[in-house]
A and B are shown apart, each in its own frame.
Chain A
């Protein structure tokens, strides 16, 4: 059954509920998406390149950082509706472009290790979190984020900005994200960082387990994940009992509540609140649980209740048109 041709993975990590959908759609579904809704794509242009070439007078690290950031975020409309193939190519280009700039951020941090901008540059280098198995031959490979992680762990474990970076990683899939989150959780001298790393790790593991369950149903997605994230890693995950994975998530979430319940997160919520919501999902929104009632308005403004559908099999589809 093809429910609707407008699916796209739109991962919303706890702290970053906006603006994540630009690069996080799943390729073969987006192809269908394009047939339905015109999408104007924005192309990243390397407009700032010339600014970085002039070396007559030393450019302060902050200025270099701002130029790179503008290049990273800078976008211009292509002014046209893209076809399926064009869109896929665009995503690949955008990934590769951003990866290249990420590499420059790491270089900047290495060149000015004592400057406060080094930390910002490193955090920017890990900003792009690949949540979707885009074909590796299109999005390419780049390990600048790995270099950024090792410098962050070496020089910045106590920085208060690290907690936010941890939260950003929770919808990712890479093995190294788990390693990084565990390192911050265990070794950061900052309680705020340890707390945010703990809830981020709990959510990362929960998200990853959900992904693995999907991969089990679909050889195509399995191959894509394998190519991007490594065969050995994926096989290890596929062989794990789901119940064991759930127990691990539960233990970490409980730890987050017990030890870091009052730690504030960037959006004003606490680690405890987030962990409780995730625990509720694990225990009460899993297979075998009774679905909570939903009461609300439908697209015609009519009051609608999920419970009114009792006696029928219901596919409940959380969706967005993006």
Chain B
């Protein structure tokens, strides 16, 4: 059993390495890819900071506080993107029938897909968002307690699991609707953009849907409130800010169910 697991992990590892090497073959393009990816992360942050050129606060939060929310959101998102982001290529595999080749191998379908499209350039993005989080944490001057240390460590993990589940669940749409195109992006990248800002800037049913219905408020906003030692301007009870791990676990469970149903539903594309 252990030997089988080791063999399988070895196979995933070799698939990943093969992918990295094949990408590095086109050297100029690869270097530009890495540079663009790093620049993207930087500009993501700049697109938040640029708002403070015209306003001193956003939704009642000071620049450094927004930066903390953004840092928590981006660490979770970029790590999930590194590990599971390429699953969005699933619709390409379903459309062309290439998924058949993946299905007949004696390995898990999801880990194989993650390995064969692994994009190492995304590592730069993870590093940059971690740096942003560290900077934000030092600027807002957190008075550290065991609870807050736990929050600072757990929140990125919660974010990774949560966004990873979204990537997987979003990709499974392709099993039923091949032409779904960018619909999943509305919730993965859209969710990232939502999470980067304090929930207080949104209003009405849109806030209700994204913050609580889909759970994005628990990724960065509530952990940030814990770290900042601020009451929730929206008046949610105290325990709500600790619900992150529960929300992430539920999301992972739902994504797993959706994936299993999708693979079972898959009937190839013929011809």
A and B physically associate? no
- Which residues of A are interface residues toward B (Cβ below 8 A)? none
